[in-house]
Structure 1
Amino acid sequence: MTHQNTTSTEQHTDAPIYAELVKERGDVLEDTRQVAAKVLRQAEQAVRLSSMRSGPA
């Protein structure tokens, strides 16, 4: 999966209704991406810690 460093608003500047919704409701797609990235980092850390506790197989 590739992710460009642009916000949803920047990706949809040609859709004025989308930009208006983002102003009213916030950028839900960008918020979701940020939360997903945080959860992924936490999961990776948990896996690393788990493998350290159990030692080599």
Structure 2
Amino acid sequence: MAEGRIKYYPISKTKTNNRLEQIVGFGSESSRSGEYVERIKRIMKKLKEISARVDKLANQF
């Protein structure tokens, strides 16, 4: 198995896993919702751009 490659990030005094929060994108409780909304907006914008490109390519054939 891959146990040797998995790093262990201990849970801090505030009972949160900092590395997990970095991966998921959640920071402190106060800034969470605003950052999350912005991140979703950026992702949706990218998805729209990508789907537009795919449509353009599909229409060429």
Q: What TM-score results when the alignment is normalised by the length of structure 1?
A: 0.52
Q: Which residue of 2 aligns with 1:7?
A: none
Question: RMSD of the TM alignment (CA)?
Answer: 1.9
CA deviations 1:1-56 (Å, max 9, x no partner) are xxxxxxxxxxxxxxxxxxxxxxxx25110000000000000000000000000107
Cross-structure match for 1:33: 37
Moved over 3 A (4+): none
Aligned length: 33
Q: Percent identity?
A: 0
Which residue does the alignment assign to 2:50? Answer: 46
Gaps of 5+ in 2: 1-27
Gaps of 5+ in 1: 1-24
TM-score (norm 2): 0.49
Task: Answer 1 or 2: higher relative contact order, Cα 8 Å, separation at least 6.
Answer: 1
Q: Distance in 2 between matches of 1:30 and 1:54?
A: 36
Counterpart of 1:37, as a letter, is: K
